[in-house]
Amino acid sequence: MILIVDDDKAIRVTLTLLLERNNYGVMSADGPTAAMEVVRNHPDLELVLMDMNYTLATDGEEGLTLLKQVKVFRPDVPVILMTAWGTIDLAVQGMRNGAFDFITKPWDNSVLMDRIETAIALRETLPSPSLNGGSSISANEKTGKQGNRSLLVGMAGGGSGIIGRSPVLLSVLATAQRVAQTNAPVLITGESGTGKELIAQFIHEQSRRADKAFVKVNLGGISTALFESEMFGHKKGSFTDAKSDRTGRFELAEGGTIFLDEIGELELASQIKLLRVLQDQTYEVLGDSVTRRADVRVVCATNADLGQMVNDKTFREDLFYRINLIHLHLPPLRERQEDIPLLVEHFIHQTCFTNGLPLATASPEAIQYLQSLPFPGNIRELKNLVERTLLMSTAPSLTSPKGEGWILSAMNFQEAYQQNPVNGGNHSPHLEGVGRASALTLEEIERASIAASIEKHNGNLSLVAKELGISRGALYRKIEKHGL
């Protein structure tokens, strides 16, 4: 049963009709007192849809108080707030206080139904403590059963080629699979090279949208001036450089998934435009006045700390809540070393196969050596290292004495590691000197690696980013962080 709380009778009646037509049981209340009466006495309550103001006051205090009370009695029941565009900061306060989602008046019926269905579906698929709206679902908590869970990756990760058996990765995958069935926006965070894009693709492939487009947009590469034209498209002649019609990314992604990569790079002026399309699910093509509906699932990724950016006022808090209904965090590779053996085997197979090499294996010492490396570039860096090692080492001749497999030693990996100038010189961990290397902090190793690469490439940051296996955005942030 869904509870509608609004002091406006017309709204209560309209919403009741809409929800009943969609086969939901409905009760309605004209204010906080009547609402709490229902909350206390109806265990079948599934969701609360509530207005923020119940008297002439417009500060939303009553709404916030009611929200907090509902959360005390029924922490498991998602609350969707209704506010006007002008008072979206009220919704933001509500999200901080445990609301699940917010919708702006006047609403579009199909958007509203979509939000309601998502909230109820997530409540059913995720354990209730996870359902806490903006403060995000931590998918990296330990999962109970371990057992044969790596089998699950083999199946679940199947086509998408996600390899690993660490509890954190399995937990992220399990959550990803469950939320894939809904339309909820997902935010994927993690350092560069941890597999954010792979997870985004996985969510798309596991969803009902799998047979429609998966459209990737790198927001770091889109200037404010071109943002609308890129995202929403334009008609020929709508501005000076518009020589022909252009289809926007949202239109390309219609019915499918849009993957907004590097969302932390988006400038404030573009953030409000993105919020608008995500909030109302409508947009206009430049030079065309028709308003279009966007049926698009949104998955965002970043290696920036958006929470910190919200504090610093460089990222809009309302947009943060809009994209962050589900939060998946991919821990760095150094925190899930159990994945290294499987990943190494996988990358060796891949490289040997594509290069027509005889199949190699890594020795146990080699795996140990790899597990001692810091991998600031995470899985991407491991993959590059495996490839380099294979290509640098001499494969045994195919006619060599039978039974002799090709074993990659720790030395082989170490040579390839040091051959990369980034890791060369005094800062590289040596086999016998792992202790020495670990005397350096990860930060120091990272700083030295970047500095060496910048020098090598005479300050050409594109080449530096490429060599380090990180995005340019990530490189800029690191340069700033280390004061280089």
Binding site for ligand ATP (CB under 6 A): 161-164, 190, 192-198, 303, 343, 379-380, 383, 470-471, 474
- Give the nearer residue to ligand ATP in terms of CB position, either 61 or 197: 197
For residue 327, the partner it binds in Mg ion, ligand ATP, none, with Cβ less than 5 to 8 A by kind, is none
- Give the nearer residue to ligand ATP in terms of CB position, either 42 or 380: 380
Q: Which two tokens stand for residue 355?
A: 């290069």
Instruction: In whole angstroms, give the CA distance from residue 323 to residue 336.
Output: 27
Bridge partners of residue 407, in order along the sequence? 361
Instruction: In whole angstroms, give the CA distance from residue 360 to residue 347.
Output: 11
For residue 482, the partner it binds in Mg ion, ligand ATP, none, with Cβ less than 5 to 8 A by kind, is none
- Give the nearer residue to ligand ATP in terms of CB position, either 157 or 429: 157
Contact positions vs Mg ion (CB under 5 A)? 197
Q: How far is the CB of 301 from Mg ion (least distance, A)?
A: 6
DSSP assignment of 332-393, as one string? -GGG-GGGHHHHHHHHHHHHHHHHTPPPEEE-HHHHHHHHTS--TTHHHHHHHHHHHHHHHS
Contacts 24+ apart (CB under 8 A), 336-340: 336/164, 336/166, 336/168, 336/169, 337/166, 337/371, 338/164, 338/165, 338/166, 339/163, 339/164, 339/165, 339/166, 339/169, 340/367, 340/370, 340/371, 340/382
- Give the nearer residue to ligand ATP in terms of CB position, either 192 or 423: 192
CB-nearest residue to Mg ion: 197
Question: Are 46 and 26 in contact, with CB atoms under 8 Å apart?
Answer: no
Q: What angle, 0 to 180 degrees and rounded to 10, lies between the N-to-C axes of helices 109-125 and 9-21?
A: 60
Q: How far is the CB of 394 from Mg ion (least distance, A)?
A: 34
Q: How far is the CB of 469 from ligand ATP (least distance, A)?
A: 7
For residue 159, the partner it binds in ligand ATP, Mg ion, none, with Cβ less than 5 to 8 A by kind, is none
Q: How far is the CB of 316 from Mg ion (least distance, A)?
A: 22
Q: Report CA torsion sign: 97, 112, 275, 105.
A: negative
For residue 201, the partner it binds in ligand ATP, Mg ion, none, with Cβ less than 5 to 8 A by kind, is none
Question: Are 229 and 246 in contact, with CB atoms under 8 Å apart?
Answer: yes
Q: How far is the CB of 164 from ligand ATP (least distance, A)?
A: 5
Compute the residue count for the chain.
484
For residue 349, the partner it binds in ligand ATP, Mg ion, none, with Cβ less than 5 to 8 A by kind, is none
For residue 190, the partner it binds in ligand ATP, Mg ion, none, with Cβ less than 5 to 8 A by kind, is ligand ATP
For residue 374, the partner it binds in Mg ion, ligand ATP, none, with Cβ less than 5 to 8 A by kind, is none
Q: What does residue 261 show for φ and ψ, rounded to 5 degrees?
A: -85, 150
Other C-beta atoms lying within 10 Å of the C-beta of residue 16: 16
- Give the nearer residue to ligand ATP in terms of CB position, either 92 or 200: 200
Q: How far is the CB of 456 from ligand ATP (least distance, A)?
A: 20
Q: How far is the CB of 217 from Mg ion (least distance, A)?
A: 12
- Give the nearer residue to ligand ATP in terms of CB position, either 164 or 185: 164
- Give the nearer residue to Mg ion in terms of CB position, either 248 or 377: 377
Q: How far is the CB of 449 from ligand ATP (least distance, A)?
A: 15
- Give the nearer residue to Mg ion in terms of CB position, either 258 or 410: 258
For residue 380, the partner it binds in ligand ATP, Mg ion, none, with Cβ less than 5 to 8 A by kind, is ligand ATP
Q: Detail the DSSP E strand segments found in 213-339.
A: 214-218, 233-234, 246-247, 257-261, 282-284, 291-293, 297-302, 326-330
CB-nearest residue to ligand ATP: 195
